[in-house]
């Protein structure tokens, strides 16, 4: 997928333009051209003069990733990464094409996101060889924790001592500076006072005081992360998740969020990564309001994929209220991703259900009602600080299975059906699906881990004894086996439908507030799939005439097998039932 470039616009020239745009207001200690050359050397691209083809989709409907910590599955006398691969080989073969292993490096807090050493694998989890073994069979996504690192890292210890590497690696600010506009995802103080060999300094901590923000105004920091990228590529990583990248560049007096320099850093990393490996992907983790999140596509020259952060709160809200109005309005507002870019769809993660991406989509009263319902189902709520010193709910911490155990009226008997309905909707949407391992397994809230860790997010970070999990999955009527079997079936059907290509056409249907529907059409226009879900706890009547089936075609429900011959039919949909209605002639063997 590489093209030769002419001499007037070679790779060095492109990288130089990125460098000049990033540091246009920052004095450099070396010429920009020299820095550009060093970046190419670090990526071993100094002799390369090629350009990746634009607008190429490096994915298909067959792609689906599972998201897991390296130690979610534990087996006695075995490294967890080996156990994880055994799970993938045993339960995901042919269905899961990739895996996002959450930070597998040595760390000091935040379950891996306070990195001590980017170049090593946490020895408890395994080795680089174990990582490479997984990458040899599955598309591996790894975190580039680029905004901050651990306050106990060698870099920060050197910062305190005034030694290299690390002396000038961290962002500092005066406590007298006007920081009132800075957007925070936490309620802790932004600045942490520390004593260094140069006296008292105040280091910037966007997330926690153990996660100290790096200073990309220093090109040595950029060079370090380019070197880290190269190291991960060498060990088989194909997909790079840029963690918390929206906060990367800071200018006091501004919100310090989504600054142009941050976008330019993403553009630079994309240029370097895809020239090193043409099918490598960048995905930006930007848990921010929807419009800001979409900006990381750029003009198909920044992230290949962006997390569809508004989907989890909107879909959960839809299923607990029995009203799809807001989900439908959001769907209609979403631009189709250009070829060469795609949405990364998820409805549960290792963190929680982010509420910022729902701001402006749900009213404050609706958000409050959602929070109250989740608390009733055993969830916790994390807050962020506002400019006026107040706080606002930032994230709901709950397992998705428990989040969907009922409606705003309380728990009911439809929990499993509602949970499967959520995944049937997500798997049919435009984009690439990512399924959190605890959703795949129907894991419940883990209150013991919350109590033990003191962290709300631990509620959805259960660790399974692998032998016990295998026993659960072998019990036909256990909720874990039911969930796994249903999601596995959805994945198997999805991967065979060309209309479910991540970039296939998508249109929203208008079927009332209790039935949510959309239409997918394959890129070659041969297949249509009408994806229709009853998102309420009451049976609903679906008139097939409302979804504009072509009368000359035979139509079949991929999930239930029913055939429809007449547009005049009325189908009774059971609570939380989903139909994937396709033209029968598009199916294999027809």
Average pLDDT estimate for 539-561: 89
In this predicted model, what pLDDT tens digit does every residue of 88-113 receive, in sequence order?
999 998 899 999 999 999 999 999 99
1, pLDDT greater than 60? no
Number of structural domains, the chain?
Answer: 1
> Of the ranges 39-43, 53-57, 532-536, 569-573, which one carries the lowest mean pLDDT score?
53-57
Predicted local confidence at residue 390, as pLDDT: 78
Distance CA 497, CA 529 (A): 9
| Percent of the chain residues topping a pLDDT of 70 | 97
Average pLDDT estimate for 315-328: 98
CATH classification at residue 517: 2.60.40.1180
Active-site residue, selected from the candidate residues 143, 243, 402, 446: 243
Predicted local confidence at residue 552, as pLDDT: 67
In this predicted model, what pLDDT tens digit does every residue of 487-497 receive, in sequence order?
999 999 999 99
Q: Which parts of 224-350 are beta strand (E)?
A: 237-243, 281-285, 305-307, 342-345
Distance CA 311, CA 353 (A): 9
Residue 357 burial (10 A CB sphere; 0-12, 13-18, 19+):
buried
Distance CA 44, CA 230 (A): 8
In this predicted model, what pLDDT tens digit does every residue of 466-489 receive, in sequence order?
999 999 999 988 999 999 999 999
290, pLDDT greater than 60? yes
**What is the pLDDT confidence band of residue 214, given thresholds at 50, 70 and 90?**
very high
**What is the pLDDT confidence band of residue 258, given thresholds at 50, 70 and 90?**
very high
The answer to whether 502 and 61 are in contact (CB under 8 A) is: yes
Predicted local confidence at residue 143, as pLDDT: 98
- 154 carries a ligand binding annotation: no
Predicted local confidence at residue 590, as pLDDT: 53
In a domain, 520, yes or no: yes
Peptide bond into 212 cis (omega under 30): no
In a domain, 159, yes or no: no
Average pLDDT estimate for 13-38: 95
| Percent of the chain residues topping a pLDDT of 90 | 88
Average pLDDT estimate for 423-430: 98
- 243 carries a ligand binding annotation: yes
Average pLDDT estimate for 281-293: 93
Predicted local confidence at residue 566, as pLDDT: 74
- 238 carries a ligand binding annotation: no
In a domain, 258, yes or no: no
In a domain, 283, yes or no: no
- 133 carries a ligand binding annotation: no
Average pLDDT estimate for 541-564: 88
Predicted local confidence at residue 507, as pLDDT: 97
**What is the pLDDT confidence band of residue 550, given thresholds at 50, 70 and 90?**
confident
Predicted local confidence at residue 588, as pLDDT: 65
Task: Round the average pLDDT of the chain to a whole number and report it.
Answer: 94
3 state SS of 154:
helix
Q: What are the structure tokens assigned to 360, written together?
A: 């402006």
- 509 carries a ligand binding annotation: no
Predicted local confidence at residue 553, as pLDDT: 77
DSSP string, 508-544: E----SSEEEEEEE-TTS--EEEEEEE-SSS-EEEEG
- 427 carries a ligand binding annotation: no
In this predicted model, what pLDDT tens digit does every residue of 123-178 receive, in sequence order?
999 999 999 999 999 999 999 999 999 999 999 999 999 999 999 999 999 999 99
**What is the pLDDT confidence band of residue 344, given thresholds at 50, 70 and 90?**
very high
In a domain, 565, yes or no: yes
- 110 carries a ligand binding annotation: yes
Q: Specify whether 9 is catalytic.
A: no
**What is the pLDDT confidence band of residue 9, given thresholds at 50, 70 and 90?**
low
Phi/psi class of residue 162: alpha, beta or left (left: φ > 0; alpha: ψ in -120 to 50)? Answer: left
Q: Which domain holds residue 539?
A: 505-586
pTM given for the model: 0.95
In a domain, 530, yes or no: yes
In a domain, 280, yes or no: no
Place of tokens 């100290």: 212
In a domain, 158, yes or no: no
- 465 carries a ligand binding annotation: no
**What is the pLDDT confidence band of residue 32, given thresholds at 50, 70 and 90?**
very high
**Torsion from C-alpha of 334, 335, 339, 345, nearest 10 degrees:** -10
3, pLDDT greater than 60? no
């Amino acid at each position: 997928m590489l093209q030769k470039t002419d001499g007037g616009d070679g790779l060095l020239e492109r990288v130089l333009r990125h460098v000049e745009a990033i540091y246009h207001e920052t004095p450099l200690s070396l010429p920009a051209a020299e820095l550009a050359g060093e970046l190419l050397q670090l990526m071993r691209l100094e002799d390369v003069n090629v350009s990746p083809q634009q607008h190429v989709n490096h994915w298909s409907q067959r792609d689906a990733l599972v998201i897991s910590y390296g130690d979610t599955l534990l087996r006695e006398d075995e490294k967890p990464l080996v156990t994880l691969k055994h799970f993938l080989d045993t339960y995901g073969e042919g269905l899961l094409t990739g895996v996002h292993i959450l930070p597998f490096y040595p760390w000091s807090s935040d379950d891996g996101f306070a990195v001590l050493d980017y170049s090593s694998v946490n020895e408890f989890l395994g080795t680089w060889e174990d990582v490479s073994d997984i990458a040899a069979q599955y598309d591996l996504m790894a975190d580039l924790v680029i905004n901050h690192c651990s306050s106990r890292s060698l870099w920060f210890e050197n910062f305190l001592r005034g030694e290299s590497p690390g002396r000038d690696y961290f962002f500092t600010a005066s406590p007298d500076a006007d920081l009132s506009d800075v957007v925070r995802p936490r309620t802790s103080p932004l600045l942490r006072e520390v004593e260094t060999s140069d006296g008292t300094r105040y280091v910037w901590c966007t997330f926690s005081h153990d996660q100290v923000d790096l200073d990309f105004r220093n090109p040595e920091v950029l060079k370090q992360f380019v070197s880290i990228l190269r190291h991960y590529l060498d060990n088989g990583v194909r997909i790079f998740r840029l963690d918390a990248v929206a906060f990367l560049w800071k200018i006091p007096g501004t919100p310090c969020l989504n600054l142009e320099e941050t976008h330019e850093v993403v553009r630079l990393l994309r240029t370097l990564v895809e020239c090193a490996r043409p099918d490598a992907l960048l995905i930006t983790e930007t848990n921010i309001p929807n419009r800001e999140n979409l900006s990381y596509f750029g003009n198909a020259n920044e992230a290949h994929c962006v997390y569809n952060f508004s989907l989890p709160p909107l879909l959960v809200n839809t299923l607990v209220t029995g009203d799809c109005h807001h989900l439908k309005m959001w769907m209609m507002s979403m631009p189709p991703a250009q070829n060469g870019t795609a949405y990364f769809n998820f409805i549960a993660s290792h963190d929680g259900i982010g509420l910022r991406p729902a701001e402006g989509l749900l009213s404050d009263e609706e958000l409050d009602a959602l929070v109250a319902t989740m608390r009733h189902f055993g969830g916790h709520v994390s807050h962020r600080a506002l400019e006026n010193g107040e706080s606002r709910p930032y994230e709901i911490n709950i397992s998705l299975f428990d989040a969907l155990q009922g409606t705003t009226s309380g728990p009911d008997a439809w929990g499993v059906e509602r949970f499967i309905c959520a995944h049937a909707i997500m798997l049919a949407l435009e984009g690439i699906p990512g399924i959190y391992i605890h959703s795949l397994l129907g894991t419940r809230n883990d209150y013991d881990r919350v109590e033990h860790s003191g962290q709300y997010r631990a509620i959805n970070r259960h660790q399974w004894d692998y032998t016990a999990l295998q026993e659960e999955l072998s019990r036909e009527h256990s909720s874990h086996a039911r969930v796994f079997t249903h999601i596995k079936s959805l994945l198997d059907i999805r991967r065979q439908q060309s209309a479910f290509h991540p970039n296939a056409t998508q249109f929203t249907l208008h079927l009332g507030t209790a039935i949510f529907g959309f239409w997918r059409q394959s890129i070659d226009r041969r297949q249509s799939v009408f994806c229709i879900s009853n998102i309420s706890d009451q049976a609903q009547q679906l008139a097939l005439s409302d979804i504009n089936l072509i009368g000359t075609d035979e139509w079949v429900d991929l999930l239930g097998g029913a055939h429809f011959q007449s547009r005049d039919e009325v189908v009774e949909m059971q609570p939380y039932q989903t139909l994937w209605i396709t033209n029968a002639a598009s199916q294999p063997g027809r």
